[in-house]
Amino acid sequence: MAGISDDDVKPVPHDGDAAQPGSAHVTDGIKSLHGRLDDLERLVVQRLATEGKREAGWLHEHADVRQELPAWRRRTEGETRWTAAIVTAIGIGLQIAVPDRLVLLRPVWVAPVVQAAFLVALVLANPHRMNKESPLLRMLSITLAAILSLANAWSVALLAVGITDGTLAKTGAKSLLVTGAAIWLTNVIAFALWYWEFDRGGPVARALATHPYPDFQFPQMTAPDMAPPHWEPKFADYLYLAFTNAAAFSPTDVMPLSRWAKLLMTVQSILSIVTVALVVARAVNILP
């Protein structure tokens, strides 16, 4: 090669020639390490024997704990519909406490009867655990949540208009507070159904573990050591989420992750603020 003379080219020593003087030290270090590992193994075996445990059983037990996925990330037997059905029935009954002039359909019992028919059909079709996909049942469940939400949103709108334009001026404070409380609680139940129906594809999809990414981050997901391995979010958790969001007008300990979850929580907070602010302000003004 140009620019390099024969004198510049020197033989490169083999690795064995350079490493040979220190190879004895490396060998001695490896032997010493093996000896220490053997001593550590003997100490562990003696400790397990003192505690009455077998080495193989102890390793198998701890390996299972490390490898077991939390329930919300794996396939489970699913939850029953009864909790959601009972709470939904309460939400349907609360609409009867709303005055006739604030309801979507008149007389006041029409919408609750329609919703109750959907609820009965869902319970009869699947009274046990929800772990089998059924497009028909999912459509019925979402339709029930939609009718409940629409009827309640209509009542919120008419209540706000009635308070601001004076058409509810003759309504007493007690009646106004009862109506506002019924609408507010129905709002909580309706949005709990939405959160429950759409988080990771709904209760059936969560049981089958078909959607790996959650839409809501519960505290048990970030601190698995604080919850048993079989924990997974159920309807009661979504009811708590809806209640705290309606009461605080913002997320508390459960964080929305997906965009639809953030938007839905925003809508719920707006409805809750309108209901509470207008009803409380009007009731305070007319109290004796």
Confidence at 152, pLDDT banded by 50, 70, 90: very high
Residue 123 has pLDDT above 70, yes or no: yes
| 244-287 residue pLDDT tens | 999 998 899 999 999 999 999 999 999 999 888 888 777 777 76
Q: Residue 59's pLDDT is what?
A: 56
Residue for token digits 């009965």? 120
Q: Which three-class secondary structure state does DSSP give residue 80?
A: strand
Residue 18 has pLDDT above 60, yes or no: no
Q: Residue 188's pLDDT is what?
A: 97
Q: Which two tokens stand for residue 31?
A: 């032997």
Cα(84)–Cα(183) distance, integer angstroms: 19
Confidence at 45, pLDDT banded by 50, 70, 90: confident
Q: Residue 106's pLDDT is what?
A: 86
Average pLDDT over residues 141-161: 93
Residue 64 has pLDDT above 50, yes or no: no
E strands, 11-135, in order: none
Query: What DSSP line would sit under 222-268, residue for residue?
Result: H-GGGS-TT----HHHHHHHHHHHHHHSS--SSEE-SHHHHHHHHHH
Average pLDDT over residues 81-102: 93
E strands, the chain, in order: 216-217, 255-256
- Please check whether residue 229 is in contact with residue 67, taking contact to mean a CB–CB distance below 8 angstroms: no
Residue 5 has pLDDT above 60, yes or no: no
Confidence at 216, pLDDT banded by 50, 70, 90: very high
- Please check whether residue 265 is in contact with residue 215, taking contact to mean a CB–CB distance below 8 angstroms: no
Confidence at 34, pLDDT banded by 50, 70, 90: confident
* Average pLDDT of the residues of the chain: 84
pTM score, two decimals? 0.74
Return the half-sphere exposure (C-beta side, CA atoms, 13 A cut-off) of residue 123: 14
Domain-by-domain residue ranges, the chain?
15-67, 71-286
Residue 119 has pLDDT above 80, yes or no: yes
Residue for token digits 């030290």? 25
Cα(118)–Cα(105) distance, integer angstroms: 17
Confidence at 22, pLDDT banded by 50, 70, 90: low
Q: Residue 58's pLDDT is what?
A: 56
